[in-house]
């Protein structure tokens, strides 16, 4: 018999009665599976919990062999239970043994059962267990039954998280674990764990009065909306800067009828308001867990944060931001939005660790802007640590040491001291010129893309901004930024840099930078597809709107605009026509023109290297985008760890191509800057100046080390050494340059 709308309420009442008993977790779990089996008219009900080794342990069952409890362990992804956990969604089968994921465990005695329904037990977006029911007859469980079991699983998750049902924690805490991840922002730090979203203990999961809970939910939503409106209207919204767009997205979600309807439906099944919010949050998480599109994950992060704020309002709990943080906070989260990170006291945060988050994620960009060591994709780390655990974060190696030994801490303290000594040396030369020992000055610029980057301009002594990535403003917005919003941001950048130069790269989206509000078709190879200047010329309104905002923001000042992903001179000429149209528009409407508008091109498509004699006379400056240029030269995706290390940026073909660009630029008397990761590595930067580059742009944290290298370098000697390496047969050019640096006391 299928469960009705009243069935979950009956079962939830039984669960509440069970939880009120004085027995321990083992006894309560045994009672709960009996109650669920009876309510669902199932012959088997079992609960599996995830352990620290990622296995699933059978902790309670009604119907299977009781001796299998605590003795049946399924490896990560094993069996139908593993399938439910990996998908984070229900699996409903009339004949379980026919499914390719079925794993027969003879100790359970389950061979006589045919139908299977399993749902994930999720908490804060993480699967912490699996709840299953089985029957001897072949049958598809009804939609209402699936819904009922999902509600029960959600309640179980809250009870387990609050230690009301955890049968045993023995052996879960180990010392000296190392979790690997992906470096997002360089640095080393040690300290104590603070969870970004602490577990909110939902004291009451099962409602006595659904009407009252519905009103509580409605009141909390109104309060949430008012809070967001207040954040947007207050003067201190300037602190968030470009993250106002994130708040606009929050406001949009807070008025989403579908989200509110799903929570009200959960309340109607017998849950409290806070339990309903958590249930819908978990369901949303399940829908996006297997999505790879970055913008979908970013949008989920927005909605996830909104749900957490609503939960805290309903329970009256504070956030980690509002609590007194330890001075050595290591902030750990499943995921995080950029504005959330900026909420914290930067003086107390030593490092950031995320279970998700890639190098191009919004929060990673902000972490680098704050010079905050960060590691992402630290798989299941929230299952391995607790609040106040000591950890060491090595964001250079991409490692997190959990509860490290004294020897490990001592070793990393030594590394931190050496790093601090180097930083002190870099601070001393901040205002000194980046000039070689034989008197050649190199212009050191910094890369930026957010307002939080700009203080680094003065902190590092950078000569200007060689690359301002304008697309970041578009990526964090919920809708296409209006012309006045773009103009305001560009004006703030120009105000902040003063008389120093800043190069604005025009909108570089497409590829892995997808804007959710901009319709695009699926591409098999987006890095080589419809992106950057190609998109801008096909949709000229995009580029014209941005050019208009830039020129109006200048207010008579100089503006430098650089076009990305140009592969043919004709594309440059097409962009020049759009600039001319915008200039005529401004004159016609009486706007002040920039003092000068300098147009540049980014050399990152190899085909452009063989058009330089035609191209360079048409531009005011050029920049080399080494990141894309190198991956295109070697046909190796730099984001793919399996192939990204298969070539060396100091290899013969790379240096020959870069040398050709530097020579052509000098011949045509066109300033050229190299922007990219190459510029930020001292030994690579040494090769670049030896090739003839006199301007390089890098991450702010790299300016100190590169300046120290330049000031210890005799340019004539390294030019001669590199010329010998390129014209002769030295084998490994990197090794050759390292040897040069060692024998000539060059600081690399």
In a domain, 739, yes or no: yes
Look at residue 396 and give its three-state secondary structure.
coil
Question: Domain with 596 in it: what CATH number?
Answer: 3.20.20.60
* pLDDT one-digit tens code per residue, 585-606: 999 998 999 999 999 999 999 9
Beta strands in 313-417 (DSSP E): 329-333, 349-354, 374-376, 390-394, 399-402
Q: Are residues 110 and 187 in the same domain?
A: no
In a domain, 556, yes or no: yes
In a domain, 448, yes or no: yes
Decide: 164 and 301 in contact? Cβ < 8 Å. no
In a domain, 26, yes or no: yes
Of residues 107 and 301, more confidence is placed in 107
Q: What are the DSSP calls for 498-527, one per residue?
A: TTS-EEEEP---BTTB--TTS-----SSGG
**Predicted pLDDT of residue 3:** 44
The 3-state secondary structure of 472-487, one letter per residue: HHHHCCCCCCCHHHHH
Does residue 362 have an active-site annotation?
A: yes
Q: Are residues 193 and 218 in the same domain?
A: no
Core vs surface per residue 502-530: b (16+ CB within 10 A) or e: bbbbbbbbbbebbbbeeeeeeeeeebeee
Average pLDDT for 697-718: 94
pTM over 0.75: no
Does residue 675 have an active-site annotation?
A: yes
Q: Residue 297: pLDDT band by 50, 70, 90 thresholds?
A: low
Q: Are residues 285 and 187 in the same domain?
A: no
Domain endpoint, select from 252, 286, 315: 315
Percent of the chain exceeding pLDDT 70 equals 83
Give yes or no for residue 239 having a pLDDT over 60: no
In a domain, 425, yes or no: no
Domain endpoint, select from 374, 408, 442: 408
In a domain, 167, yes or no: no
The total of structural domains in the chain comes to 4
Active-site pick, 243, 334, 362, 401:
362
Of residues 318 and 727, more confidence is placed in 727
In a domain, 559, yes or no: yes
Q: Parallel, antiparallel, or unpaired: how do β-strands 177-180 and 399-402 relate?
A: antiparallel
**Predicted pLDDT of residue 286:** 61
Domain endpoint, select from 408, 441, 473: 408
Domain that includes residue 155, residue range: 7-161
Residues 6+ positions from 746 with CB-CB distance below 8 Å: 686, 709, 712, 713, 718, 740
Q: Are residues 150 and 223 in the same domain?
A: no
Q: Are residues 566 and 713 in the same domain?
A: yes
Question: Domain with 389 in it: what CATH number?
Answer: 3.50.30.10
Percent of the chain exceeding pLDDT 90 equals 43
* pLDDT one-digit tens code per residue, 656-674: 999 999 999 999 999 999 9
Average pLDDT for 513-527: 62
Give yes or no for residue 493 having a pLDDT over 90: yes
Q: Are residues 194 and 239 in the same domain?
A: no
**Predicted pLDDT of residue 166:** 55
**Predicted pLDDT of residue 195:** 86
**Predicted pLDDT of residue 242:** 41
């Amino acid at each position: 018999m299928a469960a009705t709308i009243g069935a979950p309420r009956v079962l939830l009442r039984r669960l509440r009665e069970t939880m009120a008993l004085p027995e321990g977790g083992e006894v309560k779990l045994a009672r709960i599976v009996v109650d669920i089996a009876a309510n669902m008219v199932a012959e088997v009900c079992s609960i599996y919990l995830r352990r620290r080794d990622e296995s699933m342990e059978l902790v309670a069952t009604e119907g299977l062999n009781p001796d299998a409890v605590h003795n049946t362990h399924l490896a990560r992804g094993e069996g139908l239970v593993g399938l439910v956990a990996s998908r984070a969604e229900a699996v409903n089968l009339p004949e379980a043994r026919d499914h390719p994921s079925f794993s027969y465990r003879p100790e359970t005695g389950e061979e006589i059962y045919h139908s299977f329904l399993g749902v994930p037990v999720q908490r804060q977006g993480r699967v912490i267990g699996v709840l299953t029911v089985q029957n001897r007859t072949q049958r598809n469980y009804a939609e209402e039954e699936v819904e009922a079991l999902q509600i029960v699983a959600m309640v179980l998750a809250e009870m387990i998280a609050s230690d009301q049902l955890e049968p045993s924690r023995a052996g879960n805490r180990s010392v000296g674990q190392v979790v690997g991840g992906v470096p997002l922002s360089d640095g080393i730090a040690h300290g104590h764990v603070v969870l970004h979203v602490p577990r909110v203990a939902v004291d009451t999961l099962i409602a006595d009065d659904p009407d009252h809970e519905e009103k509580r939910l409605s009141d909390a939503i109104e309060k949430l909306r008012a809070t967001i409106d207040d954040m947007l209207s207050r003067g201190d919204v300037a602190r968030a800067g470009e993250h106002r767009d994130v708040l606009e997205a929050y406001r949009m979600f807070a008025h989403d009828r579908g989200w509110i309807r799903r929570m009200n439906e959960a309340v109607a099944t017998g849950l409290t308001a806070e339990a309903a919010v958590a249930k819908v949050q978990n369901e949303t998480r399940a829908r996006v867990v297997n999505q790879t599109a970055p913008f979908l994950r970013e949008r989920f992060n927005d909605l996830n944060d909104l749900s957490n704020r609503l939960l805290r309002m309903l329970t009256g709990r504070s956030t980690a931001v509002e609590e007194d943080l330890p001075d050595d906070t290591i902030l750990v989260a499943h995921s995080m939005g950029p504005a959330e990170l900026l909420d914290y006291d930067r003086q107390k945060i030593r490092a950031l660790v995320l279970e998700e988050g890639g190098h191009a994620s919004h929060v990673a960009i902000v972490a680098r802007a704050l010079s905050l060591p960060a590691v992402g994709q630290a798989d299941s780390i929230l299952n391995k640590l607790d609040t106040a655990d000591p950890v060491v974060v090595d964001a250079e190696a991409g490692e997190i040491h959990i509860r490290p030994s004294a020897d490990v801490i001592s070793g990393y303290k030594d590394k931190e001291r050496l790093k601090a000594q180097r930083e002190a040396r870099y601070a001393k030369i901040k205002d000194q010129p980046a000039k070689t020992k034989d008197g050649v000055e190199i212009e050191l610029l910094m890369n930026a893309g957010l307002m939080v980057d700009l203080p680094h301009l003065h902190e590092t002594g950078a000569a200007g901004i060689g690359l301002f990535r304008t697309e970041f403003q578009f990526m964090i917005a919920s809708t296409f930024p209006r012309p006045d919003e773009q103009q305001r941001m560009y004006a703030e950048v120009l105000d902040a840099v003063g008389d120093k130069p800043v190069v604005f790269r025009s909108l570089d989206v497409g590829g892995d930078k997808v804007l959710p509000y901009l319709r695009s078709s699926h591409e098999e190879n987006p890095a080589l597809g419809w992106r950057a200047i190609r998109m801008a010329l096909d949709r000229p309104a995009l580029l014209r709107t941005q050019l208009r905002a830039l020129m109006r923001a200048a207010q008579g000042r100089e503006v430098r605009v650089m076009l990305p992903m140009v592969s043919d001179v004709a594309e440059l000429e097409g962009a020049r026509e759009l600039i001319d149209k915008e200039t005529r528009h401004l004159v016609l409407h009486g706007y002040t023109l920039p003092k000068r508008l300098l147009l540049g091109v980014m050399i990152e498509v190899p085909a452009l290297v063989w058009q330089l004699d035609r191209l360079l006379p048409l531009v005011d400056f050029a920049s080399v985008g080494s990141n894309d240029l190198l991956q295109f030269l070697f046909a190796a995706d730099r984001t793919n760890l399996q192939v990204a290390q298969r070539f060396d940026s100091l290899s013969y073909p790379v240096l020959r191509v870069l040398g050709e660009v530097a020579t052509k630029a000098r011949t045509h008397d066109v300033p050229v800057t190299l922007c990219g990761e190459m510029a930020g590595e001292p030994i690579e930067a040494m090769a670049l100046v030896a090739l003839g580059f006199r301007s390089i742009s890098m991450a702010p944290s790299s300016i100190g080390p590169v300046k120290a290298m330049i000031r210890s370098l005799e340019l004539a000697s390294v030019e001669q050494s590199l010329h010998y390496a390129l014209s002769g047969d030295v084998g490994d050019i990197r090794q050759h340059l390292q040897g040069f640096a060692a024998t000539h006391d060059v600081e690399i």
